[in-house]
Amino acid sequence: MKRISILLLSFVLIFSNLAKADEGMWFLAFLNKNYSQMQALGFKLTVEDIYSINKSSLKDAVVALDHGSCTGEIVSNQGLLFTNHHCGYGEIQAHSTVDHDYLKDGFWAASLEDELPNPGKTVSFLIRMEDVTAKVLANVNDNMSETMRDAYITRTIDGIIADVTDGTNYDAEVQSMYEGNAYYLFIYQTFKDVRLVGAPPSSIGKYGGDTDNWMWPRHTGDFSIFRVYTAPDGSPAEYSPDNIPLVPKTFLKVNIQGVKENDFTMIMGYPGTTNRYLSAAEVEEVIEHENTIRYDVRTIKLDILKKYMDADPNVKIQYAAKYAQSANYWKYSWGQNLGLNNLKVVKRKKKLQKDLMKWVKADNARMTKYGDMFNIIQTAVEQHEVADIAQNYWFESIYLGSEIISFTLSNFGLYRTLQGGEQAEIDSMVTVMTEKADEFFKDFDPKVDKELFITLGKIYLDKVKEEYYPSIYEDVQDEYNSDWAKYADAIYSSSIFVDKDRYMNWLKNPSADVFSEDIGFNYSYSMLQAYWAISDVKDDIDKDYQKGRRLFLDAYMKWLAANNPDQLFYPDANSTLRLTYGTVGGYTYDNIKYNYFTTIDEYMAKEDPNNPEFEVTQRMKDLYKANDWGRYADDDGTLHIDFLTNNDITGGNSGSPVLNANGELIGLAFDGNWEGMSGDIAFEPEFQKTICVDVRYVLWVIDQYAGAKNLIDELTIIE
């Protein structure tokens, strides 16, 4: 193996792709190159035990929830599934009422008949993956325009997907890797009957709330339980009382022997998005636009929600999931900016881009192909700056502001059908929208939504250039004298899309004319047109931008290969199944040493009766006083709650199984630590950690706190 130069090493460390035990989101089908590293850390299985298309393997027990928003794992031969509490939070909230508050009190199904269906929730199993780069790029060349290149690639991908899915109950996707330098096919089987089985109260499952989110030490029992159901013949099916529990290809055994420092760990799951190969200009854009705008707008939004939630217990339940979803990446944006600035990532990347260009300039052929790549990226970032700012404000202030747009635009299918569809089609759409409306209005309060509309709508007006104002703004100026609050009064007093009674009455005899006459629809459609205008500007500029990105990654990979042909290299995360391996351990930051686990004693010490984020139930106090942890106690005599590993995860990995050297379940991944918040862009192996809930705590809560022994009996437990 060639010696890596100091220059190359520094570049690799910045762009975070040098394979280390704790870094890397690896394709399961290509783990042979990682195998020796995994063995050195203590791994005891074979690569085929992890991924095989000829026999059952660990990948058959790991699933994507809702097409990759979270990860789950099958833990019994009856389709029982573990994931995070925050991954099931929306379903728990949807089933909650003031009289039956499952968020506050928890929920445990005593039998299959008690399990609760969740329309729209899905579980997808990976059947296999395949490198289809040669097929996808067979008819493209460097002389093509980006538009022509995209057209050829799209047509080829459509054909590949049709070939593997026609006549099957599979679905598939072809994912671009390395910015369009490689393409992989993923074939899935997706199940649509997923029922809620169990969830601890938020005082366990969400303990610490926003205060502790992304922080260590942590004391959160972040888990919930679902079950996958199939048609009687075992095939995927929509909910039906005749459906039966899934009989999986395999399921995970649960190991309660405990974790120790330096134990081998691997995490399998569906990480959402990383951007570790950004240029300096792109990192600046993330800091100044995406993260800053998200943080600023959501700070205001969350204050509004909290005001109403604190004042009304019903609103608190209605908006609990919405608040949690918004708060999660509100805090993330703040933390990531702090991390990127503290690490001086922009400055370091600028220097290293110069180093890469020295290699490019050393060869005429390389210079011809790659010489302009950073200029292309820089120019695109500068040209689309105004549009990018507008797009971020549109998304945060308008689309994620009040809910009038999302619900109104969900009626577009019905609108088109009313304009010329058959009566049977209209009736079918009315049925769909009736169900959707019931779901929407259950968790909708017009007072809350109206204040969001007024406050966040004004932010868009103040922060975005007039060229990206929607056409409806002219009407607001003319008819309402630019009084946004007065305009909101008109919408919320008359639009059918913000009042359940008005909407349901209209559905009894729907007509297309109402859409053009409805003030709420006209507002929503105008805002959608504004978004299209912003996107058109960005799309025109970003065709060259994507070319620059593709050339950059191509040059980068070739540079690494030229200096170190055995280099292990992984693509950015994109919601495809990956594996990361590492070990259990704590860390030191600012001369403070953090232990690798937390305990029930620390949980109790954090109790604050005046802070709902740190409430402790009387049931928990009684069990703590009894000091009976049963077979779930650690060797030190106490009950461990969470532990740390140096595995490499990101959003989408929530709920992922943490496995030991034998592939047995020892925990569930659920968060990262504050000091490692830069990780999606710049991985820092020294102190970037994954926070996991100890499976012993999960089982103790199920068994001794909830008394749900029927669920414990389903598991295969290694003691």
Active-site residue 222, yes or no?
Answer: yes
User: Which of helix, strand or coil describes residue 194?
Assistant: strand
**pLDDT (0 to 100) of residue 543:** 85
Residue 163 CA to residue 92 CA, distance in Å, equals 39
Query: Helix 519-563 vs helix 345-361: angle between axes, to the nearest 10 degrees?
Result: 50
Residue 75 CA to residue 47 CA, distance in Å, equals 21
- Examine residue 232 and say whether the peptide bond preceding it is cis (omega within 30 degrees of 0): no
| Cβ atoms of 183 and 132 closer than 8 Å | yes
Instruction: Kindly report the length of the chain.
Output: 719
Cβ atoms < 10 Å from Cβ of 254: 23
- 553: Cβ–Cβ under 8 A, 6 or more apart, which residues? 178, 179, 181, 277
- Hey, where are the domains in the chain? 6-122+192-275+572-586+597-718, 280-551
Most distant CA atoms of the chain, gap in Å: 76
The pTM of this model reads 0.91
**pLDDT (0 to 100) of residue 14:** 42
Name the catalytic one among 22, 60, 222, 703: 222
**704-708 long-range contacts, Cβ below 8 Å, gap at least 24?**
704/623, 704/628, 704/629, 704/630, 704/632, 705/200, 705/204, 705/619, 705/620, 705/623, 706/106, 706/108, 706/198, 706/200, 707/108, 708/108, 708/110, 708/198
Q: Label residue 345 left, alpha or beta by phi (over 0 means left) and psi (-120 to 50 means alpha).
A: alpha
Residue 186 CA to residue 173 CA, distance in Å, equals 5
| Cβ atoms of 272 and 573 closer than 8 Å | yes
Residue 543 CA to residue 337 CA, distance in Å, equals 27
What is the identity of the amino acid at 209?
A: G
Name the catalytic one among 654, 678, 680, 694: 654
**pLDDT (0 to 100) of residue 22:** 66
* Range 330-350 burial, b when 16+ CB lie within 10 A, else e: bbbbbbbbebbeeeebbebbb
Task: Output phi, psi for 463, to 5 deg.
Answer: -105, -15
Q: What is the pLDDT of residues 260-275, one digit of tens each?
A: 999 999 999 999 999 9
- 696: Cβ–Cβ under 8 A, 6 or more apart, which residues? 256, 258, 632, 633, 634, 639, 640
**pLDDT (0 to 100) of residue 15:** 44
Q: What is the pLDDT of residues 19-35, one digit of tens each?
A: 444 689 999 988 998 99
Query: Helix 292-311 vs helix 446-463: angle between axes, to the nearest 10 degrees?
Result: 160
**pLDDT (0 to 100) of residue 167:** 94
Task: Output phi, psi for 596, to 5 deg.
Answer: -90, -5
- In the chain (719 residues long), the average pLDDT of successive 10-residue segments reads 36 42 84 93 97 96 96 98 97 94 97 97 97 96 91 96 96 96 97 98 96 95 98 97 98 98 98 95 96 97 97 96 93 94 93 92 97 96 95 96 93 90 91 93 97 97 95 93 95 96 95 91 95 93 91 93 82 97 95 96 96 96 96 97 97 98 98 93 90 98 98 98
**pLDDT (0 to 100) of residue 703:** 98
Please name the residue ranges forming H helices in 627-708: 695-700
CATH architecture of the domain 6-122+192-275+572-586+597-718 equals Beta Barrel (2.40)
For residue 114, give the H/E element and its range: none
Half-sphere exposure at residue 6, Cβ-oriented, CA atoms within 13 angstroms:
0
Name the catalytic one among 86, 219, 289, 640: 86
Catalogue the E-assigned strands of 338-480: none
| Cβ atoms of 642 and 689 closer than 8 Å | no
